[in-house]
Structure 1
Amino acid sequence: MSSRIDFGQFDEGRGVNYWALDRTLQRELERIYTNEEFAWAEPRLASFGRTVGHTIADNADYIDDNGPVLEPYDKHGEVQNYVRYPAEQHENEELAYEAGIVADSFHAPPDREEPMPFSHNLAMQYLLSYADPGFDCPVAMTTGAALVLERFGGEEIAPYYGALTSRDSDDLIEGAMFLTEKQGGSDVGANETRAAYDEESGYWRLEGEKWFCSNVDAEGTLALARAEGAPAGTDGLSLFLVPHADPEGGAMTKRERRELAANASGRKGIPSAKLNDQYYRRLKDKLGTVSVPTGEVEFTGAKAILVGEEGNGFKQMTEMLNVERLSNAAASCGIMGRALLESRIYAANREAFGETIDRHPLMRADLVDMTVDHEAATAFTFEVARLFSERERLERENREKLENTRRRGENKRRRDENAEETYRLMRLLIPIAKARTARMAVDTASYAMEIHGGNGYVDDFVTNRLLRDAQVLPIWEGTENILSLDVLRALDREAAHEPFFEAVQDRLETVTHSALEDSAGVVESEYHDLAGALATLADAETDDAQLSAKRLAHYVFDVFTAALLLEQAQTALEGGDGRTALVARRFVANELADSEARGIIEGDRLPLEHFDPVVRFASVDPEALSESVPADD
């Protein structure tokens, strides 16, 4: 049994340990980690949660007012492409990367014999996003670039892979993904950047423009370009690593670049001899995510290294997109967690009409539903993170097997059926995770601002920045429309509905407790209705299917999340606590159940009778829940 959290003891959501106060994340990681992984990770996540809640959170507010500045030219008028960061950003980078936020999922961390699953990287990104989702963008892209180079890179790329996955900030470089072009946007196949092989230098040369380049000065940047004679569309694109510095001069870490800039005689940047042939035109003046410099880049013969096979670039880049979309979902959940924490603390301290505002029925209902939304988003995201981690583990094992067969003179690709099934389900759920949680983060941050009243609207309070930062999440890595069309492709090309239905049914079959009976019945009914909807769309014309794509994505999220929460509630009830059952029942009631007169006449008193368990994490006796289940008429 867990003790309730008294949020009234805090003045605000900083100077605290975000891991210790986020029992939702604790529950999800304990569920998806092995016992050994969780035992290793828990003290390290607690340490990181404290670091984020104290130092990184304070630094993030300063950086929001004093963000990176581009100095494209030195005083002699020569291109230097120099991005000047505040010292607080350098401190945040060292704290996060040296804590293993990227490295631990690629290399065995201290006291372990193998890397942590990628879900651990996402958990740390989640905690980081309590303080700064903008900085989480470079962390996510560093993770994604490293994954692509691990899978497709050769010997020439190995030093960049090593630097991307370093725990030592002295050796670290960051990753980036330059995908968007002015004329193409989400239509990647319309990209016009060109690539030509330069025999003299031994590098490819890139010409063209990239329009929205986050982490613009990264040393491990991946970009798509079309080689001469390649076909139009995505099939003609190849993937290249484009360093910030001239690769013939050796890749420069961020620290080396800072030191070189500081020591350059009479200059404030990098000597032109060290630069790659590209020009950082300007940084975007953005609404939020100030800590990540986003700019426009012109490739003017930039030296690049081919990654993987020529013409296979888009397929390779989708591996990074999967990571980026999951990172986007983890950041969304982190923003929701911080917004909810600030709201709980404020409501427990702010007095109005003679008592704290968390005593008033409407505020109690709001805080309950914000909590349920956060738990639903986090449960879905980390179940998909579990699938992604499992798929990557199996892929690594398969690559090792393939390498062994090659050493024995064989040349076979050994497919793992488990990896294929996991991929099919993951392929469906990743775009849904990104689409739904991003929108939920915006709504939660917006309402947290409303709870704080006028104070929440001004720069002095963090809710202002949370909303500005959250607003980019529905845009990054594909808008909701693009993601919904991706869901249709997963159903059509991967037959992803098959593992999806199996996963939902398996979970519903575990739900037997009487306190969950009514909710499980609703989900079972909706599950069958969803199956019917999918069958109808399978035979629909393309335009008709696309018209329903967004509603379908939300429907899949609701059914899958409900089954997931009910399964977790069943486990918790068997362990003697009914709190998760309250969350699951509320989610089903809000998202799937039919209600007469929009629920007005039903007399739902859950926010009043169970406020402490849901919002403050007090334990609930399972027998009390069974007794509260209304009898059938």
Structure 2
Amino acid sequence: MGDGRDYSQFQEGRHLNYWAVDETAQREIERVYDAEDFAYAEPKLAELGAIIGNTVADNADYIDTHGPELHTYDKHGNVQNFVRYPAEQFENERLVYETGLIADCFRAPPEREEPLPLTHFLSMFYLLTYAEGSGFGCPVAMTAGAAHVLELFDDGSLSAYYEALTSREHDEMIEGAMFLTEEQGGSDVGANETTAEYDEAADCWRLTGEKWFCSNIDAEGTLALARTPDAPDGTEGLSMFLVPHGDPDDGVLTKGRRRAFDGPPPVDAVNDQLYRRLKDKLGTTAVPTGEVEFEDTKAYLVGEEQNGFKQMTEMLNLERLSNATGACGIMGRALLESKIHAATREAFGDTIDQYPLMRADLVDMAVDHEAATAFTFEAARLFAEREQAVREGEDAEETYRLMRLLIPIAKLRTARMAIDTTSYAMEIQGGNGYVEEFVTNRLLRDAQVLPIWEGTENILALDVLRALEREDAHEPFMAAMQDRLDGIDHPALDAHAELVEEEYQQLTMALGDLATADGEYAQLTAKRLSNYIFDVFTAALLLEQAQKQLADGEGRLALVARRFIDRELADQQGRGITSGDRFPLEHFDAVVRFASVAPDELLEQARADD
């Protein structure tokens, strides 16, 4: 077995190609494409990886300390709602959007007859979040989400906005946003108090109300929920509207049109709303987040009246997947920075990656990244498969039911894993990790919002219960689990496959017990259940991929699977201290540096363990 990748060749985790250095992403992303799509997409992923690793990464650090500024009023006291951005932000936008990151999944690229699946957007988004996890990543995700909603529910009346959301040309495009949160409601979307009245003379709706946490505040095409006259209380009475930033009577205010003005757009060129202030946030500096007042603000109904909450949940599926994908990308960047620093930092006469404790930490950080990425991209595969079926008018009920279970779990678990990983990446850097000039502190600040956006852990855990109760999601889950476990027969995986089988049986018993438990108890255990499902399903995913890799003569992923299972599912006496386990010392090069592993080595080790 060789040493694998030499991270001492790098000074830090920038000025390199993020696609080229991330073999975990390469494997998982190739797995969720079909062969023809991947052959087309791989050069685009490599191109974007180089753009993000060089220009965007440097720009992101500058933007973090020179973020957007809101100028609500002009010098005469008129509302102008002007957000001033640094030039680096516009450069990042142009470079990223013009790779087709969004466009290629909604419009056929020039060289193809059909759009790429939505896994392509999530794969490209993963690379973006190496540099801009929750800052610029937020507008990008919401732009894709808004396009997704219009594709599903618009009757064609908003085609100009859809075309702009999915444009390949930066000057011709608009960004999307989603204004849901109101101060009195928070996660209780049904408490929404914003109202909508139809204006026959203007042939549009007028919204009145306040939105409390509005990210990408000046997006040119914002989706908002409001209640029409005589609509019932709660989520059933909500309708969805598109609120333009510009006065819609003048057409779509694209990026190019906005920049053509000499400074802020004139007052009569913007829609009637008030951007009160920007939030002074812990992180995500690149995306301006603020408070908005609607007062007879022009808007257009999206889809059917009083169907807004259902439409919002379709958008949330993609947004939650984007959140989870972003968490994986942030973890990948934090891990890369940690590997490089450990391979180049000398202490007591040697680089710190030679010391046992650091080796154990890097191994487990790498395993976490592998686990999070495997689970998230499996959920992404199901999401894209279902959306492709919808586009083609086909049934994908079983796929949808499993997707509904996995997506909230992916978001719940990976968000927490990203915080843990970035926090420890700061520690590996020492005092520098706490300093603004070094990227790890920004990674942690940006990761900290991930458990909050698109639903907190409690909200997500309750959504898992709903998927089990309303969609009977346990049925496709159990079928997927058994199918994977039945395919594991390599002797190097026998002991761990048996352990996962036992835990899977325990999980099915727990699901059965909860099905008859009272509502309060089910809610009390919902987070534990969500994490249990993640652990068991991820173990099966990793074993399945390890089985395929072993058949091709490579054993590295078997080590990753075994480490994850031992750590998350195995009972350990004395908290593992008395086990004699030397895994991080014996397999550091394979897990951390992607050194090749011969399957025979694993068999010898398995026989020795017996």
Q: TM-score range, shorter-chain basis? A: over 0.9
- Report matched runs for 1:65-464 at 5 Å: 65-133=65-133, 134-260=135-261, 263=262, 268-398=263-393, 416=395, 419-464=396-441
Partner of 1:615: 592
Q: CA 1:3–1:351 in 2, change beyond 3 Å: closer, same or farther?
A: closer
Specify every segment of 5 or more residues in structure 1 that has no aligned partner in the other structure, as ranges: 399-414
Contact 1:507 1:567 in 2 (8 A): yes
Verify: 1:6 aligned to 2:6, yes or no.
yes
Counterparts of 1:123 and 1:179, CA distance in 2: 26
Secondary structure of 1:477's aligned partner: coil
Contact 2:67 2:286 in 1 (8 A): yes
The CA deviation at 1:43 is 1.3
Letter in 2 for 1:628: Q
Contact 1:98 1:169 in 2 (8 A): yes
The CA deviation at 1:2 is 9.5
Contact 2:240 2:309 in 1 (8 A): yes
Counterparts of 2:452 and 2:260, CA distance in 1: 35
Verify: 1:589 aligned to 2:566, yes or no.
yes
Counterparts of 1:299 and 1:536, CA distance in 2: 48
Contact 1:347 1:356 in 2 (8 A): yes
Contact 1:18 1:52 in 2 (8 A): yes
Letter in 2 for 1:194: T
Counterparts of 1:554 and 1:2, CA distance in 2: 36
Counterparts of 2:431 and 2:94, CA distance in 1: 36
Partner of 1:42: 42
Counterparts of 1:76 and 1:322, CA distance in 2: 44
Letter in 1 for 2:555: G
CA deviation digits over 1:560-617, x for unaligned, max 9? Answer: 0000000000000000000000000000001011111111111111111111010000
Partner of 1:409: none
Counterparts of 1:18 and 1:610, CA distance in 2: 24
Partner of 1:530: 507
Contact 2:503 2:536 in 1 (8 A): yes
Q: 473, 482, 488: which is aligned to 2:465?
A: 488
Counterparts of 2:511 and 2:44, CA distance in 1: 43
Q: CA 1:221–1:2 in 2, change beyond 3 Å: closer, same or farther?
A: farther
Letter in 2 for 1:455: N
- Report matched runs for 1:49-60 at 5 Å: 49-60=49-60
Verify: 1:558 aligned to 2:553, yes or no.
no
Letter in 2 for 1:63: I
Partner of 1:411: none
Letter in 2 for 1:571: K
Secondary structure of 1:269's aligned partner: coil
Partner of 2:18: 18
- Report matched runs for 1:487-506 at 5 Å: 487-506=464-483
Counterparts of 2:37 and 2:2, CA distance in 1: 22
Counterparts of 1:169 and 1:563, CA distance in 2: 42
Contact 2:3 2:590 in 1 (8 A): no
CA deviation digits over 1:444-498, x for unaligned, max 9? Answer: 0000000011110010100010000000001000000000000000000000000
CA deviation digits over 1:158-198, x for unaligned, max 9? Answer: 00000000001111000000010000000000000000101
- Report matched runs for 1:535-546 at 5 Å: 535-546=512-523
The CA deviation at 1:99 is 0.3
Secondary structure of 1:49's aligned partner: helix
Runs of 4+ in 1 over 2 A off after TM superposition: 630-633
Letter in 2 for 1:295: G
Counterparts of 1:630 and 1:62, CA distance in 2: 54
Counterparts of 1:500 and 1:479, CA distance in 2: 23
Letter in 2 for 1:354: G
Partner of 1:410: none
CA deviation digits over 1:370-389, x for unaligned, max 9? Answer: 00000000000000000001
- Report matched runs for 1:563-578 at 5 Å: 563-578=540-555
The CA deviation at 1:269 is 1.4
Counterparts of 1:274 and 1:156, CA distance in 2: 21
How does the TM-score come out when normalised to structure 2?
A: 0.99
Counterparts of 2:260 and 2:365, CA distance in 1: 46
Contact 2:7 2:339 in 1 (8 A): yes
The CA deviation at 1:632 is 7.2
Secondary structure of 1:296's aligned partner: strand
The CA deviation at 1:245 is 0.9
Secondary structure of 2:301's aligned partner: strand
Secondary structure of 2:196's aligned partner: strand
CA deviation digits over 1:525-548, x for unaligned, max 9? Answer: 000000000110111111100000
Percent of paired sites with the same residue: 69
Counterparts of 1:28 and 1:3, CA distance in 2: 23
CA deviation digits over 1:272-310, x for unaligned, max 9? Answer: 111111000011110001000111000011111000100
The CA deviation at 1:155 is 2.4
How does the TM-score come out when normalised to structure 1?
A: 0.95
Counterparts of 2:84 and 2:495, CA distance in 1: 58
CA RMSD across the alignment: 1.1
The CA deviation at 1:110 is 3.0
Letter in 2 for 1:576: G
Contact 1:81 1:270 in 2 (8 A): no
CA deviation digits over 1:8-43, x for unaligned, max 9? Answer: 010000001100000000001111111111111111
Letter in 1 for 2:530: A
Counterparts of 1:169 and 1:484, CA distance in 2: 38
Specify every segment of 5 or more residues in structure 2 that has no aligned partner in the other structure, as ranges: none
Contact 1:217 1:244 in 2 (8 A): yes
Counterparts of 2:32 and 2:157, CA distance in 1: 36
Secondary structure of 2:136's aligned partner: helix
Contact 1:2 1:617 in 2 (8 A): no
Partner of 1:401: none
Counterparts of 1:366 and 1:483, CA distance in 2: 29
The CA deviation at 1:258 is 2.1
Verify: 1:63 aligned to 2:66, yes or no.
no
Letter in 1 for 2:277: R
Contact 2:272 2:295 in 1 (8 A): yes
